[in-house]
Amino acid sequence: MKISKRKIAYKLLICVITYLFIELICFIFISAGYIPARKPTFKFIYKNTVNAPFASLSPVWGNWHIPGKLEYQDGCISFNYFINSAGARDKERELQSPDTNRVIVLGDSFIEGWGVDASDRVSDLLEKRTNQAFLNFGCATFGLTQELLLYKNLAAKYDHSTVLIGFLPYNDFSDDDLSIDKNANFYKPYFLKKDSGFQLTYHGVLPVRSSPGTNSSAESAPGSSWKEITVRFLKSYTYWYNIYSHIKLKNKENKEINNKSGKTPSYYFDFTQEQFLRLEYVLTQFRAASDKKRIILFSIPLLQDLKRINSEKDGSPLVQKLDALCKNLQIEYLDITPYVSNEKAYRDNFFYCDPHWNEKGNDFTADILYRKFFATPASR
């Protein structure tokens, strides 16, 4: 039995209308906030040309950015980086400045602004609200050891009055611990515990010549398979797939975080004595290197940290020990946890396809830091 072209065209029209209706409903759900899925970016990179927007470039602190522009896309996040002549993801800054209130900002991928535009980062939001310059020297994969070495050898050369450090217990302890991080296949500095204290050592071999991504692997850049390209295309241009991906990732995350087999792992509780002594040593070195400048340290909890903190009666030993240490070193310290109303609300500050702050998370944190440290004239 032959089907007329008219019937085929009619069925195709129904399919197209149904699809557009589904897209419209998904658009409404996301735009109205009923489902906090990522909106399509309507930007698409067919194939990434690099593994990562950083490489083992510095013989002193390891990973760093190459100056210039870089586009990169992975899942629901995309990078459109401008790297200044110093290698920082920031606009060009002068070494000497008549502005005596400039702030050096240090940290890892959260501070760098992984997955968001530079204008949506904590540092840029604070700069806009305070009219102070916030010089962002954050870089993915950094631990406090790398941040200290970068500060002493590069960032400190820029006129400033304040140092703002973002500390992520989730991986900053392990990033600085060679016994855990020793399988990292790129060049990196560590402070090793010796009888006399801590000694700086380097793991891996610094490449003679390097470019973004060469520290990761010799394989093709992420997102180069047809499946990955198709998924990235759907996330870039459709609302329905972003909702589908959101629900899938949320269910997976709930199973991992709500594991009933034991206590949720968290470095707010599970750090070792040696790891804290290393942290103490690095912060002491920051204090010595800063020439009595104002230093602000703030710790960032992830969802699993928040869940563990809420399940413990006596609070976090890390926060208690850091508070005492920072008072002794004349470092201003703040933990973000007390400002979080509940786990569900805090979850909306992160991407669902990636464990970093989204735009809302950066704004949430910038508002806390502004009110606590930068809102009054006395704090400037």
Is residue 243 located within the same domain as residue 304? no
pLDDT higher than threshold 80 for residue 225: no
- For residues 134-149, b (16+ Cβ closer than 10 Å) or e, as one string? bbbbbbbbbbbbbbbb
The verdict on residue 316 lying in a domain is yes
Q: In the predicted model, is pLDDT for residue 281 greater than 90?
A: yes
Q: What is the pTM of this model?
A: 0.85
Is residue 266 included in any domain, yes or no? yes
Q: Give pLDDT tens digits for 24-75.
A: 999 998 888 788 777 887 887 777 766 667 788 899 999 999 888 887 777 6
Whether residues 299 and 191 fall in one domain: yes
Report the C-alpha gap between 105 and 150 in whole angstroms.
11
Residue 199 has pLDDT above 80, yes or no: yes
Give the CATH number of the domain where residue 316 resides.
Answer: 3.40.50.1110
Query: Is residue 242 situated within a structural domain?
Result: yes
Which of 72, 61, 46, 271 shows the shortest CA–CA distance to 146? Answer: 61
Encoding tokens for residue 315? Answer: 């609070």
**pLDDT value at residue 156:** 97
pLDDT, one tens digit per residue, over 320-371 is 999 999 999 999 999 999 999 888 788 889 987 778 999 999 999 999 999 9
Residue type, 39: K
Range 257-271 average pLDDT: 77
Looking at the fold, whether 182 and 291 belong to one and the same domain comes out as yes
- How far from 228 is each of 42, 235, 247, 283, CA to CA, in Å? 16, 11, 19, 42
Mean pLDDT estimate for the chain: 86
Q: Is the pLDDT of residue 89 over 50?
A: yes
pLDDT tier at 78 (50, 70, 90 boundaries)?
Answer: confident
Tell me if 192 is assigned to some domain. Answer: yes
Q: How many domains does the chain have?
A: 2
Q: Of 128 and 4, which is predicted with more confidence? A: 128
- Rounded Cα distance between 38 and 361, Å, is 13
80 falls within a domain: no
Q: Residue 255: pLDDT above 80?
A: no
Q: Tell whether 176 and 227 lie within a shared domain.
A: no
Tell me, yes or no, whether 72 lies in a domain. Answer: no
305 and 335, same domain (yes or no)? yes
Q: Are residues 269 and 137 in the same domain?
A: yes
pLDDT top residue among 149 and 40: 149
Distances (CA, A) of 266 to 10, 85, 88, 320: 57, 38, 30, 15
Single-letter amino acid, residue 333 = Y
Q: Are residues 228 and 206 in the same domain?
A: no
pLDDT at residue 378, rounded to an integer: 46
The verdict on 326 and 309 lying in the same domain is yes
Integer Cα distance of 139 and 74 in angstroms: 18
Q: Please check whether residues 157 and 21 belong to one and the same domain.
A: no
Domain membership flag for residue 71: no
78/358 Cα distance (integer angstroms): 12
Read off the pLDDT band of 158 (50, 70, 90): very high
Predicted pLDDT of residue 208: 58
Instruction: Classify residue 77: in a domain, yes or no.
Output: no
Query: Tokens representing 221?
Result: 């850049």
Could you report the per-residue pLDDT of 282-300, keeping only the tens digit for each?
999 999 999 889 999 999 9
Task: Map the chain to HEC letters.
Answer: CCCCHHHHHHHHHHHHHHHHHHHHHHHHHHHCCCCCCCCCCCCCCCCCCCCCCCEEEECCCEEECCCEEEEEEECCEEEEEEECCCCCCCCCCCCCCCCCCCEEEECCHHHHCCCCCHHHCHHHHHHHHHCCCEEECCCCCCCHHHHHHHHHHCHHHCCCCEEEEEECHHHHHHHCCHHHHCCCCCCEEEEEEECCEEEEEEECCCCCCCCCCCCCCCCCCCCCCHHHHHHHHHHHHCHHHHHHHHHHHHHHHHHHHCCCCCCCCCCCCCCCHHHHHHHHHHHHHHHHHCCCCEEEEEECCCHHHHHHHHHCCCCCHHHHHHHHHHHHHCCEEEECHHHCCCHHHHHCCECCCCCCECHHHHHHHHHHHHHHHHCCHHHC
Alpha carbons 164 and 73: distance in angstroms, whole number: 29
Residue 251 shares a structural domain with residue 263? no
How much is the pLDDT for 373? 97
Same domain, 235 and 305: no
Residue 189's domain comprises 55-65+91-217+259-379
Same domain, yes or no: 340 and 363: yes
